[in-house]
Structure 1
Amino acid sequence: MEEAVRKEIEKICNEELAKRTWGAKLSKANKGGMPRYLITDYRAFGLVTGIVRYFIHRENIHERLFYRGQTEEWALKPSLYRNIETHDKMDLADSWRKQALEVLEKEKFDYKGTPDEREALAQHYGLATSFIDIVDHFQTALWFACDGQKDNNSVGYIYVISVPEDKATIIDLRNKPSKWLRPHVQQGFCFKMNHISQCGLVPKDYHIMTFVVPRELLERWSNYDVIKHNYMYPPEEDDSSYGFWQKVENHLNKVGLGTTPQTWIEERMDEKARA
């Protein structure tokens, strides 16, 4: 999304929120420079994201709007590349990913899916991948922003992300058979940028804004007291395909890869240093 359009969206959002007193722009932007809004009225989500959607439609922008709920304000980066800050580690992360995807294939994990679908589904069950989990349903994003919060004075973060259809791969995991129950109850999507740069960081052009929501409101609006953790992460007896993931996880651990690349990368870096 072009900078001029983003600025116009921000201006209108500022005016509309102030007029209705449903929230307010926070004076401190995040490191990427995108606006942050403290939200105090549930209607603000529909108002603000409706403004963004209208501009995407009006300007014929080939992007799709999604949300991501987080308990911390982390950078928008795939789990594969978290804590990766050098090209050497990027290369090792990609090598780890290649080997991990080979394990998925050997274990026939989502054997009817495409390689991208297989990777995205594994991301949903716990594998570090080049994809990022997102949803198109802001109540679900609110639930994830609340899950794990322990401090009554804490806040959660809802990222509004406009994913470019021509520069990213978007996977709707709800198209999988419902025996894979987790992505269905979580309204699960994944996306990855087709060109990886900045050590995996998603360009700030696509992170439109961040909603900051106090914990008390997160709990109320997400219905967190009713929708328990094991509803959103169904146990093995309810999610009949969880056993397929357990086979993959056991295989990854057996060959020394694990489900995330950090330890494997550090071991390769140590071997290189000793050579």
Structure 2
Amino acid sequence: MCKILYNSRDVDWWNIGAEIKHFNINDYHSIEIDDNNYVKVMEVYESLNLPQYIGYAKFKCKEIGPVLYRGQANIYKKMSPSLFRGLSNQNNCGRRRGRLKKLIENLRKHKVFMKSTEEFAYEPLLQHYGVNTEYIDVVDNIWSALWFATHSAVVCGKNKEYVTYIENLNEYCYILMLQFGKYIENSGGFSNYNTDKGYHVVDLRMGANSLYRRPHAQHGLLAKKQRPSLDYSDSVVGILRINTKNALSWIGNTPLMQTSFMFPSAFYDKGYSLFLESDKILEENKSLYDDVTGRIQIIMP
């Protein structure tokens, strides 16, 4: 019996096949991610099956909170936030958090964030524009998730600041269905809130000015644990595997599915332009960014 790495204590997702008669939800694949660990995923062959798969996940989770999506070109052993990747011991998180806090404070002091930006949105915005943070990117829109599943980032530069997105060359791509818990009343608002599973969720479409065009184009939500953690995979309630060529054909070549729409240039994205100008601050304070925080990424054609 293969070990199920991603599972949920709240939803018995792997045993719901008997309840659905109209397609083969029992078509599981066990994928080896290291020498002893496997993850079970469900294969989706037709686009018309997507609403039933994801709709059923939402239905099963209706009492415990919304289900969000994360598109990935690969399956990984852990779902680590970018700030903590490469760490093996949670005790080492403090130094990295300190570096990020220093960066945010310097950017705030130099008025890099728009005047209307609330403090809770600082870190999520930096995550969206390429800085390493404690947040992971998620969406509530399956088309956006499919785009990120079918595209891979190719990076270069000393701090990996130059990024080009290309079509995923892997045979398969993946949609992770994530559930972060119930909204806790009086913990924030619709734009940012805590959950009963120890997560903090931010919706930048409500939490940030639309002059930050990228998060609005991508249907940008983000989530992080309220306490430092190296792994967020306890939020995964289901994983879909799709042939990459099929997924690319499903999203098509419309203007709304182009890299230039998902990552608007600084000409259209005022927030992005302000972040790029922060490089001038970097020249004055060369320790502002480092290999821990990374830096604002420059999207290349």
TM range (shorter): 0.7 to 0.9
Indicate whether 1:171 and 2:202 are aligned: yes
Local SS of the residue matching 1:241: helix
Deviation at residue 126 of structure 1 after TM alignment = 1.0
SS of equivalent to 1:208: strand
Q: Distance in 2 between matches of 1:25 and 1:128?
A: 34
Task: Give the drift of 1:25.
Answer: 1.4
Q: 1:140 aligns with which of 115, 139, 144?
A: 144
Return the alpha-carbon distance in structure 1 between the equivalents of residues 8 and 143 of structure 2. Answer: 28
- The alignment partner of 1:77 has SS state of coil
RMSD: 2.8
Distance of aligned partners of 1:35 and 1:93 in 2 relative to their CA distance in 1, 3 Å threshold: same
| Count of aligned pairs between the two proteins | 255
* Cα separation, 2, equivalents of 1:23 and 1:10: 8
Amino acid at match of 2:68: F
Q: Larger helix proportion, structure 1 or 2?
A: 1
Residue from 21, 30, 33 that aligns with 1:27: 30
CA distance in 2, matches of 1:213, 1:16: 22
Partner SS state of residue 256, structure 1: coil
Contact 1:25 1:36 in 2 (8 A): yes
Structure 1: how far apart are the matches of 2:131 and 2:168? 28
Q: TM-score, normalised by structure 1?
A: 0.81
Cα deviations across residues 64-97 of structure 1 (Å, max 9, x unaligned)? 2110111122331111111111345322211211
Alpha-carbon offset, residue 24 of structure 1:
2.1
Letter in 1 for 2:106: V
Q: How does 1:234-253 map to 2 (within 5 A)?
A: 234-252=264-282
Whole-Å separation in 2 of the counterparts to 1:90 and 1:243 = 30
Alpha-carbon offset, residue 137 of structure 1: 0.6
Q: Shift of residue 145 of structure 1?
A: 0.8
**Letter paired with 2:199:** A
Q: Match for residue 58 of structure 2?
A: 53
The residue number in structure 1 matching 2:192 is none
1:160 alignment partner in structure 2: 177
Instruction: Say which is worse superposed, 252-261 or 40-49, in terms of deviation.
Output: 252-261
Identity %: 23
Q: For residue 96 of structure 1, what is the aligned residue in structure 2?
A: 99
Question: What TM-score results when the alignment is normalised by the length of structure 2?
Answer: 0.75
C-alpha distance 219-73 of structure 1, shift in aligned 2 (>3 A) = same
1:32-81 Cα distance to aligned partner (Å, 9 max, x none): 86631121111332112222211222xx21x2211011112233111111
Q: Partner of 2:266: helix, strand, or coil?
A: coil
Please give the secondary structure, in 2, of the residue aligned with 1:35: strand
Residue aligning to 1:269: none
Q: Is this contact kept in 2: 1:180–1:241, CA < 8 A?
A: yes
Displacement of 1:168 in angstroms is 1.5
Match of 1:81 in 2: 84
1:126 aligns with 2:130: yes
What is aligned with 1:271? none
Counterpart for residue 267 of structure 1: none
Work out whether residues 135 and 224 of structure 2, in 8 Å CA contact, stay in contact via their aligned partners in 1.
yes
The unaligned stretches of length 5 or more in structure 2 are: 1-6, 153-165, 182-194, 296-301
Indicate how the Cα distance of structure 1 residues 102 and 152 shifts in structure 2: closer, same or farther if over 3 A, else same. closer
Cα distance, 1:248 vs structure 2: 3.1
* Distance of aligned partners of 1:95 and 1:15 in 2 relative to their CA distance in 1, 3 Å threshold: same
**Residues 67, 141 of structure 1: 8 Å contact kept:** yes
Post-superposition CA distance 1:6-41 (Å, at most 9, x none): 22x3211x3467752478211347678663112111
Q: Which amino acid aligns with 1:256?
A: S
Gaps of 5+ in 1: 265-275
- Is 1:190–2:212 an aligned residue pair? no
Query: In structure 2, what is the Cα distance between the partners aligned to 1:124 and 1:229?
Result: 15
